[in-house]
Every structure is written in structure tokens, then in C-alpha cells.
Amino acid sequence: MLHRSTHITEKNSHKFSYDCFEIAEDNSEKVKEMKHLLRRAIRNELTDKQRYCLCEYYFKKRSMKDIAAELGVNPSTVTRHIQNATRRLKRVAEYYQ
């Protein structure tokens, strides 16, 4: 996939603000679809430990230290599970861009 970068300058800044605010579309259906895909990916693409650590950390706002103590592992192990889960979810998300 090729990414183009656009630089906003003094000359063209008015065009970008117009594009962003005047031509905005309702993306609620897209957001709803992405949330559904994310839930499915969490359920189907992650290992049990990755899923547990990710959900406890991001959704229940628990510290990595607390999760590690509960699981009887080092906090670095919890960090690794969360990082691996995040990488895997990003790869899944790339299919839907």
C-alpha cells in the first residue's frame, strides 16, 4: 500500500479545513462495523492469555503489575502478551482498510 503525505502550508491550509469540516460524512455505520470486526478478532485471533491480558488492561483498566500477580508471571510477560495481541489486531485491521 502506498501512502502519500500532504503538507499543509500557509497557502493551502484553508482548503484542508474546508475539506475536513464541510465535506464530513456520517461514519457511524463504519465505526459500528469496525467495532464488530474488532470484537470478532479479539475472540478468534488472539490466544487466551493475549485476550485476557488485553481485555483486563484496556477494558477493565487494571495495571500490568496486578494482572501479572494474578497470573503468577512477571509484568514483562503481561507486557509481551499485550504487545503481541496489539500487533496481531493491527495485522487483521490492515485487511479492512
pLDDT value at 18 more than 80: no
Residue 31's pLDDT band (cuts 50, 70, 90): confident
Q: How far apart are CA 19 and CA 3, in angstroms?
A: 19
pLDDT of residue 4: 43
- Each domain of the chain, given as residue ranges in start order, spans 47-97
Instruction: Return the C-alpha cell found at 50.
Output: 493475549
Residue range 37-95, pLDDT digits in tens:
888 999 999 999 999 999 999 999 999 999 999 999 999 999 999 999 999 999 988 88
Angle (CA) 43-44-47 rounded to 5° is 85
The yes/no answer on whether domain 47-97 falls in CATH 1.10.10.10 is: yes
pLDDT value at 5 more than 80: no
- Rg of the Cα trace of the chain? 19
- Which residues, including other chains, have CB under 8 Å from residue 82's CB and lie 6 or more apart? 50, 53, 54, 57, 64
In one letter, which amino acid is 53? C
